Structure 1
Amino acid sequence: MSPRSRMGELEQAVLDALWELDTSRGASGREVHERLGDRDLAYTTVMTVLDRLVGKDVVVRERDGRAFRYAPRLTRAAMTAELMHEALEGTGADRDQALVSFVGEASAEDLAALRRALAEMD
């Protein structure tokens, strides 16, 4: 099971905040805390969640003076793809049926995106 599939709601909120912030240079714990200001969380809670995400290898941490900067290990799209691959691996012999079921429930926009992606692979 991937780290993302084992994440709690607060961990997901912190990861979403990192994706929303300019992470080309990473974000400080203070910036993440401010981004989550509507949730009324203690700064120490945000830092604990960031440390957990580093431990799960979902977030990378880099020292910046006396503090750290945090950034997602993967883009939102790459992490979603990783989760989808993991789900398909767990289907075993039913992999084909799982794909057919997924496509059968996909929206017109999703099907168009799939067609474009497949065309680009040819």
Structure 2
Amino acid sequence: MTDSKGPLDEPRSRRRGQGELEAHVLSVLQSAPAPVTAAWVHERLDDTTLAYTTVVTILTRLLAKNAVTRKRAGRSFEWQATSSHAGLAARRMHRVLDADEDRAAVLASFVTSLSPDDEQLLRDLLNQTAENSEG
């Protein structure tokens, strides 16, 4: 049996879920009044154990996913969000679809696992998209 204590009986920090830190950094960036530095983002994160270099790494990953932009500002960069949390999640879903040869099977498996409410929401969204493309 393992407990949640580490060396010297100090509690271990909770391990973040996949994408959780990216989402948190993106959220902070979205609250910015204008393009901001990584230091600005780092100061506003509520995790005092998080290294500045980790924030830069996360911003760079978000840049590769087109969720943020950056521009040179002196010797560093200023960062700006280009995507919402929903947009970032949609990109992850696209990557999953693109990684499998049988897109139909992946989509079918996804759709059959939806709750009735989510299935109806998906139907409504598809109908709305079809109506918008016709009009």
TM-score of the aligned structures, taking structure 2 as reference length: 0.60
2:86 counterpart SS class: helix
Residue 75 (structure 1) shift: 2.6
Q: What corresponds to 1:30 in structure 2?
A: 39
For structure 2, the 5+ residue unaligned runs are 1-15, 131-135
Residue 43 (structure 1) shift: 3.0
Distance 1:78 1:84 in 2: 10
Q: What corresponds to 2:128 in structure 1?
A: 120
Residues 18 and 32 in structure 1, CA contact (< 8 A), matched pair in contact too: no
Residues 60 and 71 in structure 1, CA contact (< 8 A), matched pair in contact too: yes
2:39 counterpart SS class: helix
Q: 1:70 to 1:11 in 2, by over 3 A?
A: farther
Q: Tell me the amino acid that sits aligned with residue 80 of structure 2.
A: A
1:96 aligned onto 2:88: no
Residues 70 and 78 in structure 2, CA contact (< 8 A), matched pair in contact too: yes
Q: What corresponds to 2:6 in structure 1?
A: none
Residues 34-53 of structure 1 aligned to structure 2 (within 5 Å): 34-50=43-59, 52-53=60-61
RMSD: 3.2
Distance 1:110 1:66 in 2: 47
Residues 54 and 61 in structure 1, CA contact (< 8 A), matched pair in contact too: no
After superposition, the C-alpha distances for 1:75-102 in whole angstroms (9 at most, x for unaligned) are 322232222223223332x322222211
Task: Report the count of equivalent residues.
Answer: 113
Runs of 4+ in structure 1 off by over 6 angstroms are 8-11
Q: 1:101 to 1:34 in 2, by over 3 A?
A: same
Distance 2:96 2:57 in 1: 28
Q: 1 or 2, which has the higher helix percentage? A: 1
